[in-house]
């Protein structure tokens, strides 16, 4: 479940043959001054190691391969990446933590490196931490806000749309049947066999979660032609980008299809934008909050176990990142600790975000028969006062703060912001959220003021806190698109 500890953010920026590294906790009103160290990188070596890792993942899908050797190969390549990419201070900070949420805030040029597979000598980052990726890009997303959450979410399962993958059909059907008991939290629609792209285009925006089990075809010559395969062809990256121009797509997309998060890394001196039109980035640019996909082929039995475990934890109140990590660990438990199936899955998005937060059930008070006459009289006498008190409490419940000064400072900050006095507005808003972290209306102004000042990192972190605290307080209107 959610540990309550703030996520750790690892900033990795790129300029020429140098990367800049910084690490900090994601907390309200953190210091606006952060330390960054730099490290010179041999990107030709990084590219070679990335290619070796992909080759190792490919060998795992071939029959007759002894997985112990593959495990050793993955560790060696991952450890060389660890040695070459991180400096001493970053290594020590990561090694002193046993678990928790780790957000990789990456420049787009560096997204092709399998950071989750870096090995510190004792464990992989993707097994030690709940890892999620946030990508910094020079391009402007089509939709500025993600879709909101209703009390009861809608999920669409697209299984075996081309009618030639029996295992994909069984996977989708199994997930629907197993989690039907969660009907109070989520409504699940199941669609299989002979699905065309028109159906998906018309209905995709109606759902909060989408699970795809089928073919994903990857086009090395034109990345915009990569896409999910349906009866009449592909739903391509270009199609998804077009859909995203008019409104947010599902908040969580699980593409349990081979090569659906496939990444290639080439030295950043080349035109990196040709590598960024992947299926993952298309959904992310269309306001999808979380995207899960595979970077290589995976066996049918493996994909079923992973998906089932992921949703089991997700629907029972775990964060997205924790659910994904538990699914990775389940693959090691079920198929052996020498296998490397777990390494195929990537998460884009805030790993600490909880979609289905659990709340304790209210205890029922049961009175014995002899007490009822006296209690009835007491309840009758206090009924009118109780109603008044309840109405007062209900009214206060919907206020973000009971402190009048918070409202006064918020109104002052808002006025200053619209007058262009960003520094003064930031100072006031920082004081509000430090004392009142659930005063949600303050966060957008703070983030926009940061953006005006060119403090894009602070703006990004403020929006993450805004989203996280909205979800924690179950105030979904602040997440509306």
CB 464 within 8 A of CB 25: no
Q: Which residue has tokens 């399998």?
A: 114
3-state secondary structure of 254: strand
Domain boundary, last residue among 105, 136, 167: 136
The confidence score (pLDDT) of residue 90 equals 95
Instruction: Give a yes or no: residue 58 inside a domain.
Output: yes
Q: Which helix (H) or strand (E) holds 103?
A: strand 101-107
Pairing of strands 130-136, 101-107: parallel
CB 8 within 8 A of CB 100: yes
The confidence score (pLDDT) of residue 115 equals 96
210, β-bridge pairs:
156, 253
Residues with Cβ < 8 Å from 157, sequence gap 6 or more?
172, 175, 176, 188, 189, 190, 191, 192, 210, 211, 213
Instruction: Give a yes or no: residue 358 inside a domain.
Output: no
Instruction: Give a yes or no: residue 225 inside a domain.
Output: yes
Q: Which helix (H) or strand (E) holds 227?
A: strand 227-230
The confidence score (pLDDT) of residue 134 equals 93
Domain boundary, last residue among 348, 370, 389: 348
Dihedral pair phi/psi, residue 371, rounded to 5°: -80, -15
The confidence score (pLDDT) of residue 402 equals 54
Strand order in the sheet with 130-136: 37-40, 18-25, 8-15, 101-107, 130-136, 345-348, 290-294, 252-255, 209-213, 153-159, 186-192
Q: Which helix (H) or strand (E) holds 309?
A: helix 300-315
The confidence score (pLDDT) of residue 6 equals 85
Residues 157 and 131 in one domain: no
Residues 189 and 334 in one domain: yes
Residues 233 and 128 in one domain: no
Distance, C-alpha 427 to centroid of its chain:
30
Residues 210 and 320 in one domain: yes
Residues 331 and 211 in one domain: yes
Q: Which residue has tokens 């990444």?
A: 263
The confidence score (pLDDT) of residue 152 equals 87
Residues 107 and 167 in one domain: no
Instruction: Give a yes or no: residue 267 inside a domain.
Output: yes
Instruction: Give a yes or no: residue 141 inside a domain.
Output: no
The confidence score (pLDDT) of residue 273 equals 35
CATH of residue 210? 3.40.50.1460
158, β-bridge pairs:
191, 212
Residue of 305, 304, 334, 343 whose CA lies nearest to 71: 343
Instruction: Give me 232's structure tokens.
Output: 């009449």
pLDDT in tens, 239-263: 999 998 888 899 999 999 865 666 6
Dihedral pair phi/psi, residue 258, rounded to 5°: -60, 130
Other CB atoms within a 10 A radius of the CB of residue 374 amount to 10
Strand order in the sheet with 227-230: 216-217, 227-230, 233-236
Residues 110 and 253 in one domain: no
pLDDT in tens, 368-407: 444 455 545 544 555 555 554 554 444 444 455 556 778 7
* Cα distance from N-terminal residue to C-terminal residue, the chain: 28
Q: Which residue has tokens 């009175």?
A: 367
Instruction: Give a yes or no: residue 447 inside a domain.
Output: yes
Burial of 91 (C-beta count, 10 Å sphere; 0-12/13-18/19+): middle
Residues with Cβ < 8 Å from 361, sequence gap 6 or more?
none
Burial of 182 (C-beta count, 10 Å sphere; 0-12/13-18/19+): middle
CB 30 within 8 A of CB 8: no
Residues 72 and 209 in one domain: no
Residues 99 and 186 in one domain: no
CATH of residue 424? 1.25.40.10
Distance, C-alpha 425 to centroid of its chain:
30
Instruction: Give a yes or no: residue 13 inside a domain.
Output: yes
Residue 309 belongs to what domain range?
A: 153-348
Per residue of the chain (481 residues), give pLDDT as tens.
555 678 999 999 999 999 999 998 887 665 666 778 999 999 999 999 999 998 998 888 876 655 568 999 999 999 999 999 999 999 999 998 878 999 999 998 899 899 999 999 999 999 999 999 998 887 766 555 667 777 789 999 999 999 998 999 999 999 999 998 777 889 999 999 999 999 999 999 999 999 999 998 887 788 888 899 999 999 999 999 999 888 889 999 999 986 566 665 655 433 333 344 478 889 998 989 999 998 888 888 999 999 999 999 999 999 999 999 999 999 999 999 889 999 999 999 999 999 987 655 555 444 444 445 554 554 455 555 555 455 444 444 445 555 677 878 888 888 888 877 888 888 898 988 888 888 888 888 888 888 777 777 777 788 778 777 777 776 655 454 3
CA distances from 328 to 134, 240, 354, 416 (A): 20, 28, 18, 48
Instruction: Give a yes or no: residue 142 inside a domain.
Output: no
Give CA–CA dist 147/283, Å, rounded. Answer: 13
Residues 165 and 224 in one domain: yes
The confidence score (pLDDT) of residue 261 equals 60
Q: How many domains does the chain have?
A: 3
Residues 159 and 305 in one domain: yes
Instruction: Give me 380's structure tokens.
Output: 């009758």
Residues 12 and 107 in one domain: yes
CA distances from 347 to 232, 325, 328, 451 (A): 29, 10, 12, 26
């Amino acid at each position: 479940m959610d540990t309550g500890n703030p996520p750790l953010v690892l900033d990795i920026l790129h300029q020429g043959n140098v990367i800049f590294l910084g690490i900090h906790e994601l907390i309200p009103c953190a210091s606006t001054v952060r330390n960054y160290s730099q490290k010179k990188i041999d990107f030709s070596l990084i590219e070679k190691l990335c290619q070796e890792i992909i080759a190792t993942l490919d060998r795992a899908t071939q029959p007759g391969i002894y997985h112990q050797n593959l495990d050793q190969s993955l560790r060696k390549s991952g450890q060389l990446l660890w040695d070459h990419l991180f400096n001493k201070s970053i290594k020590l900070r990561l090694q002193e933590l046993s678990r928790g949420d780790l957000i990789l805030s990456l420049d787009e040029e560096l997204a092709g490196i399998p950071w989750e597979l870096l090995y510190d000598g004792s464990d992989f980052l993707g097994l030690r931490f709940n890892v999620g990726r946030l990508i910094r890009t020079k391009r402007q997303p089509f939709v500025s806000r993600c879709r909101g959450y209703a009390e009861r979410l809608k999920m669409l399962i697209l299984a075996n749309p081309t009618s030639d993958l029996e295992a994909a059909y069984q996977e989708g059907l199994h997930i629907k049947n197993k989690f039907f008991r969660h009907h109070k939290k989520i409504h699940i629609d199941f669609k299989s066999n002979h699905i065309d792209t028109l159906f998906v285009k018309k209905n995709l925006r109606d759902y909060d979660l989408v699970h795809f089990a089928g073919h994903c075809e990857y086009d090395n010559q034109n990345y915009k032609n990569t896409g999910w395969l349906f009866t009449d062809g592909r739903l391509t990256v270009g199609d998804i980008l077009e859909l995203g121009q008019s409104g947010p797509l599902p908040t969580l997309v699980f593409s349990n299809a081979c090569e659906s998060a496939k990444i290639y890394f080439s030295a950043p001196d080349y035109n990196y934008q040709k590598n960024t039109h992947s299926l993952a980035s298309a959904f992310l640019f269309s306001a999808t909050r979380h995207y899960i996909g595979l970077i290589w082929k995976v066996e049918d039995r493996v994909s079923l176990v992973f998906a089932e475990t992921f949703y089991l934890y997700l629907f029972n109140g775990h964060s997205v990142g924790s659910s994904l990590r538990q699914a990775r660990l389940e693959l090691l438990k079920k198929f052996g600790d020498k296998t490397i199936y777990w390494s195929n899955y990537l998460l884009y998005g805030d790993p600490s975000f909880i979609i289905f937060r659990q709340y304790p059930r209210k205890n029922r008070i049961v009175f014995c028969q002899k007490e009822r006459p006296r209690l009835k009289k007491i309840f009758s006498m206090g009924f009118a006062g109780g109603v008044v008190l309840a109405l007062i409490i209900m009214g206060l419940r919907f206020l973000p703060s009971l402190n009048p000064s918070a409202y006064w400072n918020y109104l002052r900050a808002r006025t200053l912001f619209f007058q262009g006095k960003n520094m003064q507005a930031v100072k006031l808003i920082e004081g509000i959220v430090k004392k009142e972290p659930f005063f949600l209306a303050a966060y957008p102004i703070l983030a926009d003021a940061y953006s005006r000042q060119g403090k894009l990192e602070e703006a990004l972190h403020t929006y993450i806190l805004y989203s996280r605290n909205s979800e924690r307080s179950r105030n979904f209107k602040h997440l509306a698109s």
